Amino acid sequence: MNAYDSARMADVMAPHGFAPVDVPEDADMVVLNTCHIREKAAEKVYSELGRMRALKRAKSEKGERLIVAVAGCVAQAEGEEILRRADVVDIVVGPQVYHRLPEMVARLARGEKALDTEFPVVDKFDALPEAKSVEGPAAFLTVQEGCDKFCTFCVVPYTRGAEYSRSVAQIEEEARRLTDLGAREITLLGQNVNAYHGAGPDGQAWGLGRLIRRLARIDGLKRLRYTTSHPRDMDDELIAAHRDEEKLMPYLHLPVQAGSDAVLEAMNRGHTADDYRRLVGRIRAARPDIALSSDFIVGFPSESEADFEATLSLVREIDYAQSFSFKYSPRPGTPAAAARKQVPEAVKAERLERLQALLNAQADAFSQACVGREIDVLFEKAGRHAGQLIGRSPYLQAVHAHAGSHKIGDIARVRVTQKMSHSLGAELVTGAAAMAVAL
């Protein structure tokens, strides 16, 4: 979502003469778009601001100016604290008001530092300009923001605010525009994307399944994905969309976080491990080839060795194609941060290592099982070798292939020939014209 927001900020600043540059040294304005989800991400901002201070000084010695803005969830959570801790910062702008960046830059010209962390969410999407270009054939589109679930470890409800869904009409218009600009795949985004309940053209609230069916009617659009989903919001309509809708890719990120009911309850996830197993069963019955991925938190307060083993056993049962796992990071203001029974860092680290060994083995096995199979790849960028393109499989794996006459934006059928550490090698399936991959 930060990638989507950064692109929108560039769109907002474009009419005011700003265009993206590759390195901060070439910039008149630097926007750090930040993440507050774990402490490490938040702390990175302050070390980056140290670099910006040196750059600003160097530029001012040459008589040049540099505006430094902090955007995103760290801006939302820390607000004025950022201006106090880092005097290099000129602008602090929360994720719901970045459409006001030009006004804030104008205030700076009058000598005032600017801080805005309001939550007028409806405003933002109405005020944002249309996208003028896409970065490649795979685009993002935010359909939902914020969260009302209040998991006890998570800052999102505080930094992104209450759940809000954009209207079907507004999303469809943006999807058509992205497609006209060259997008062939769109990933629908939301902190809790399957809680989507936007106003439909019939005046009813539409769920994500219905929205996906509507967007699948857009001609040039070939693939749809969505992320991130909550198990509790995986309704029948959405599962049926996985069964029926060819354009909806058979890959689902469905975070479970932990496999112990006691931990799930302490996290306020609102479901048990068995609820999750049954849900996965229903999804796999509807779409047998679906690949699943998940997020995991290890070392949540009071997590015992037995609780952690329940996570390992759930992982063994579900068998994930890919996963993201983290040590629990106490976040200021969240209930779990105040819990008395915090798990020592060394225990967290040791559990994370064991979990990741299992998850990596499953991901490797999934990729290995693709070798010899024919799959469709959407080519997204040039590879390192002449004539080679890199694309994505339906399961989101990076695939390298000699692309023949295919170009970026094409979908081609390939046969997977090789599993590499983070990608697959493949050859085009074009009968006699098939070429071997040189990697």
CB of 191 vs ligand SAM, minimal distance in Å:
5
One residue of 84, 87, 122, 150 binding ligand SF4 per CB under 6 A: 150
Please identify, using beta-carbon distances, which residue of 325 and 423 lies nearer to ligand SF4.
Answer: 325
Q: How many CA atoms lie within 13 A of 325 on its CB side?
A: 26
Task: Looking at residues 224 to 263 of the shown chain, list those that interact with ligand SF4 (rule: CB under 6 A).
Answer: 230
Cis omega (within 30 of 0) on the bond before 228? Answer: yes
Of ligand SF4, ligand SAM, none, which one sits near residue 150, judging by CB under 5 to 8 A according to partner kind? ligand SF4
CA–CA dist 148, 156 (Å, integer): 9
Count of residues that bind ligand SF4 according to CB under 6 A? 10
Q: Which residues contact 434 (CB under 8 A, 6 or more apart)?
A: 415, 427, 428
Please identify, using beta-carbon distances, which residue of 136 and 335 lies nearer to ligand SAM.
Answer: 335
CA–CA dist 226, 150 (Å, integer): 21
Q: Which residue stretch of 6-14, 76-84, 135-143, 152-160 sits at the interface with ligand SF4 (rule: CB under 6 A)?
A: 152-160
Please identify, using beta-carbon distances, which residue of 159 and 393 lies nearer to ligand SAM.
Answer: 159
Measured from the Cβ of residue 362, the count of other Cβ atoms closer than 10 Å reads 17
Tokens 């954009």: give the residue.
166
CB of 351 vs ligand SAM, minimal distance in Å:
13
Measured from the Cβ of residue 268, the count of other Cβ atoms closer than 10 Å reads 14
Residues that bind ligand SAM (CB under 6 A): 37-38, 153-154, 156, 191-192, 228, 230, 255, 257, 295, 297, 326, 328-329, 331
Q: Which residue stretch of 14-22, 114-122, 136-144, 146-154 sits at the interface with ligand SF4 (rule: CB under 6 A)?
A: 146-154
CA–CA dist 257, 263 (Å, integer): 9
> Residue 306 has which token pair?
């037995």
Q: Is 331 in the site for ligand SF4 (CB under 6 A)?
A: no
CB of 372 vs ligand SAM, minimal distance in Å:
33
Q: Is 149 in the site for ligand SF4 (CB under 6 A)?
A: yes
One residue of 73, 75, 156, 437 binding ligand SF4 per CB under 6 A: 156
User: Is the Cα torsion angle 404, 415, 244, 166 positive or negative in sign?
Assistant: negative
Which of 146, 153, 77 has its CA nearest to residue 115? 77
- Helices 236-244 and 208-215 meet at what angle, rounded to 10? 30
CA–CA dist 216, 340 (Å, integer): 49
Please identify, using beta-carbon distances, which residue of 198 and 383 lies nearer to ligand SF4.
Answer: 198
Residues that bind ligand SF4 (CB under 6 A): 147, 149-151, 154, 156-157, 191-192, 230
